[in-house]
Amino acid sequence: MNILRILLVLCCALLMSSLSFAAGQKSVCIDCHKKITPGVVQQHLDGKMSKKGIDCSTCHGSEHKKADDAKLAKMPTPETCSGCHSKQVDQFKAGKHNLAWIAASAMPMWAHQPKGVVGEGYKGCSSCHKIGVKGEKEKYEYHYGNAQCDSCHTRHSFKKSEAQDPRACQTCHMGFDHPQWEMWSTSKHGSIWQIEGKGSKRAPTCQTCHMAGGDHNVMTSWGFLALRLPEDDKDWLNDRVTILQALGVLDDKGNPTARLDVVKAGKVARLTKEEFQKERDKMIKICANCHGTSYAKNQLEAADMVIKDVDKIMAEAIREVQGLYKDGILKKPANWTFAPDLLQFYEAKSSVEQDLYVMFLEYRMRAFQGAFHMNPDYMHWYGWAPMKETLQKIKDEAEKLRAEKAAKK
Ligand code: HEC
Ligand code: HEC
Ligand code: HEC
Ligand code: HEC
Ligand code: HEC
Ligand code: HEC
Ligand code: HEC
Ligand code: HEC
C-alpha cells in the first residue's frame, strides 16, 4: 500500500514536471508577452536556449516591466551574446561580416541617398549590411538592427540548423552584384544538394567552403572586388592600376589617396601575398576533402585567369572614359574628387559612366564569381559576353561625344 502510494506520488510528480516542461519556461516577461507577441514567445520556447533557462530578460534586461515602458527594453548586440558564446563572437569580429556596415557607409554615394534607402528602416543597402557593426552614433540613432548574429540564426529560435542551411545565406548573397546563391544553386555542387537533400555529404554548401568547422570568420582571398596587391604580372598590374584609379584609390599619377585607408580599414583587398595565400591554401584544403589537390588548384587558377582577362577589358573601357575627361569632353561634376569615379555607382552623370559602373559592378563580378562557383553560364553569358558588348557601346558613345564636340567648334 505504502509502496503503491509512493509510486502514485512519483508518477504524479513526473507527469507534473513533463506537463510544466511542455508548457515551457515561465517568467513575468513571458506571461505578458504571450498576449502581446505570442509568436516571439513560441519561437523562444521552441529554441534551445529557453530549455537551458535563458529568459527574455537575459537578452533584453529587466528594466521594462509594464505595458507602457517598452522603451526601457535593451536591444541586443553581439556583446550580449559574447558572455556565453565568446568563441563565435570573436571569430565573427575578425571576419568580413563584421565590417559590412563600415564598407557600405564609406561609399561616396551613400551620403546622397535618402534615409529610407541607407538608414534605419532597412529597405535597401542597410538591410543586408546591418550584419556589420555600426558606429556608436548610428547604434544609438538606430533602435533596431544592431544584433548582427540574427542574420543567419533568426530570432527568436536562434537555430543552429537554420544557419547550417545554405538558404540562410541567400537573402543577401543574391542578385545584381553578387549572385552567389543563383550561381551555386544551379552549379553541380548546388544541384547535388537539391537532389540528395540537406543531409548529403557529397555536396558542398556555402558553409562547407566558407565556414569550415563552424568558423564564424568569413574571408576570401580575392574578396568582393577581386583586387590584390602586389602583382607580379606586369600587364595585369598595369590594368589593375587603371581600375584602382577609377576607384579613386590611386590618383592619376598612381599615388595612394585617402581611400586606401578605407580599403585597409574595411579589409576590402588583400594587400600582401601572405594574406592572399593563407585564404587560398585554406580553400584548397577544403576542396581536397572531395577532389584531388591538383584538380582543385587547377580549377582555382583557371578562375584567377578569368579575372586577368576581364580586367583587360575593364581597363580598356576606363581608359576610353578617362580620355574623354582629358580632352575636356566630359567635365568633372562639382563635389567629385575623382572622375571617372566607379564608387559613385548610379550617381554617375553621363551615360558612358553609367555603362562603366554596370560593367564593373555587374558584369565583371559575374564573370569571376561565376568562375569560382563552377557556373559556366554566369561566367560567360552574364559576365564575359556583356563585358565585351559594353566595351563596344562605350567606344561608340565616346566617338559620338567627340564628334558632337568637334561639330560645335
Ligand atoms: C505587462 C505586460 C508586459 C510585461 C510584463 C513585459 N512586457 Fe515587453 N512589451 C510589452 C508591450 C505592450 C510592448 C510594446 C509592443 C509594441 O507595441 O511594440 C513590449 C515590448 C517589448 C520589447 C520590444 C521593445 C521595442 O523597442 O520594440 C521587448 C524586447 C520586450 N518587450 C521584452 C520584455 C522583457 C525582457 C520583459 C521582462 C523583463 C517584458 N518585456 C515584460 C508588454 C510587456
Ligand atoms: C538570445 C537573446 C534573446 C532572447 C532570449 C530574447 N530576445 Fe528578443 N530580441 C533579440 C534580438 C537579437 C532582437 C533583435 C534586435 C534588433 O533588431 O536590434 C530581439 C528583438 C525583440 C523584439 C523586437 C523585434 C520584433 O521582432 O518584434 C521583441 C518584441 C522581442 N525581442 C521580445 C522578446 C521576448 C518577449 C522574449 C522572451 C520570450 C525575447 N525577446 C527573448 C534577442 C533575444
Ligand atoms: C546567458 C548565456 C547565453 C546568452 C547571453 C546567449 N546564449 Fe545562446 N546559448 C546559450 C546556451 C546555454 C545554449 C544551448 C547550448 C546547448 O544546448 O548546446 C545556447 C545556444 C545557442 C545557439 C545554438 C542553438 C541550436 O539550435 O543549437 C545559438 C545559435 C545561440 N545560442 C545564439 C545566441 C545569440 C545570437 C545570442 C545573443 C543575441 C545568444 N545566443 C545569447 C546561452 C546563451
Ligand atoms: C544579412 C546579409 C548576409 C547574410 C545572411 C550573409 N551574408 Fe555574407 N556578406 C554579407 C555582406 C554585406 C558582406 C560584405 C561584407 C564586407 O566585405 O564588408 C558579406 C561577405 C561575405 C563573405 C566574404 C567575401 C570577401 O570579401 O572575402 C563571405 C565568404 C560570405 N559573406 C559568406 C556568407 C555565408 C556562407 C553566409 C551564410 C551562412 C552568409 N555570408 C550570409 C551579407 C550577408
Ligand atoms: C541584397 C543584399 C545587399 C544589398 C541590398 C547591398 N549589398 Fe553591398 N554587399 C552585399 C554582399 C552579400 C556583399 C559581399 C559580396 C561578395 O563579396 O561577393 C556586399 C559587398 C559590398 C561592398 C564591398 C565590401 C568589401 O569590403 O569588399 C560594398 C562597398 C557594398 N557592398 C556597398 C553597398 C552599398 C553602398 C549598397 C547600396 C547601394 C549595397 N551594398 C547594397 C549585400 C548587399
Ligand atoms: C553568416 C552566418 C552566421 C552568422 C552571421 C552567425 N552565425 Fe552562428 N553559426 C553559423 C553556422 C553555419 C553555424 C553552424 C556551424 C557548424 O556547423 O558547426 C553556427 C553555429 C553557431 C552556434 C552553435 C555552436 C555549436 O557548436 O553548437 C552558436 C552558439 C552561434 N553560431 C552563435 C553565433 C553568434 C553569437 C553570432 C554573432 C556574433 C553568430 N552565431 C552569427 C552561421 C552564422
Ligand atoms: C565548393 C566551394 C564553394 C561553395 C560551395 C561556395 N563557394 Fe563561395 N567561393 C568559393 C571560392 C573558391 C571563392 C573564391 C575564393 C578566392 O577569392 O580565391 C569563393 C568566393 C566567394 C565570395 C567572394 C566573392 C566571389 O564570389 O568571388 C563570396 C561572397 C562567396 N563565395 C559566397 C558564397 C555563398 C553565399 C555560397 C553559397 C550560395 C558559396 N559562396 C558557395 C568556393 C565556394
Ligand atoms: C563535399 C565534397 C566537395 C567539396 C568540398 C568540393 N566539391 Fe567539387 N564536386 C563534388 C562532387 C560530388 C561533384 C560532382 C562529381 C564530379 O564532377 O566530381 C563536384 C564537381 C565539381 C566540379 C565539376 C563541375 C561541373 O559542372 O562539371 C568542379 C569544377 C569542382 N567540383 C570544383 C571544386 C572546387 C574548386 C572545390 C573547392 C573550392 C570543390 N569542388 C569542393 C564534391 C565536392
The string of DSSP codes covering 289-317 is: TTS-HHHHHHHHHHHHHHHHHHHHHHHHH
Position 2 scores a pLDDT of 57
Task: Report the separation in Å between the CA atom of 390 and the middle of ligand 7, taken as the mean of its atom positions.
Answer: 26
Residue (of 129, 118, 225, 111) closest to 177 by Cα position: 225
Residue 77 Cα, ligand 4 centroid: separation in angstroms? 18
Q: Is 85 in the pocket of ligand 3 (CB under 6 A)?
A: yes
In angstroms, the Cα distances linking 170 to 54, 178, 180, 396 are: 29, 10, 8, 38
Torsion of CA 48, 51, 53, 56, to 10 degrees: 60
Cis peptide before 256 (omega within 30 of 0): no
CA-CA distance, 298 to 304, in Å (whole number)? 10
Is 381:389 a contact under the CB 8 Å cutoff? Answer: no
Q: Which residues contact 344 (CB under 8 A, 6 or more apart)?
A: 108, 109, 336, 353, 357
**How far is residue 193 CA from its own chain's centroid?**
22
Mutate to test the pocket of ligand 4, among 159, 193, 198, 218 (most ligand atoms within 8 A of CB): 218
Res 3: pLDDT: 58
CB 172 within 8 A of CB 132: no
pLDDT of 20 reads 37
Cell of residue 67, nine digits:
505595458
Would the CA dihedral through 171, 173, 179, 180 be positive or negative? negative
Number of the ligand closest to the Cα of 168:
4
Residue 205 in contact with ligand 6 by CB distance below 6 A: no
Q: What is the pLDDT of residue 199?
A: 87
pLDDT of the residue at 9: 47
Which pLDDT score is estimated for 139?
92
CB 30 within 8 A of CB 39: no
Domains of the chain: 79-158 (no CATH), 220-408 (1.20.850.10)
CA distance 233 to 304: 12
206 lines ligand 4 (CB under 6 A): yes
pLDDT of residue 1: 42
Q: Does the Cβ of 312 fall within 6 Å of ligand 8?
A: no
From the CA of 41, give the closest atom in ligand 2: 38
pLDDT confidence of residue 14: 40
pLDDT at 323: 98
Structure confidence at residue 4 (pLDDT): 53
| Stretches in the chain below the pLDDT threshold 50 | 1, 7-23
**Atom 28 of ligand 4: nearest residue by CA position:** 218
Query: Taking the model in full, what pTM does it have?
Result: 0.96
Q: Cα angle vertex 359, ends 375, 169, to 5°?
A: 45
Q: Is 291 near ligand 8, meaning CB less than 6 Å away? A: yes
Q: Per residue in 290-326, pLDDT tens?
A: 999 999 999 999 999 999 999 999 999 999 999 999 9
Q: What is the pLDDT of residues 99-127, one digit of tens each?
A: 999 999 999 999 889 988 899 999 999 99
Structure-block grid coordinates of residue 129: 549590411
Q: How far is the CA of 335 from the centre of ligand 6 (A)?
A: 43
Inter-residue contact 370 to 376 (CB < 8 Å): yes
Residue among 117, 185, 150, 165 nearest 43 (CA): 150
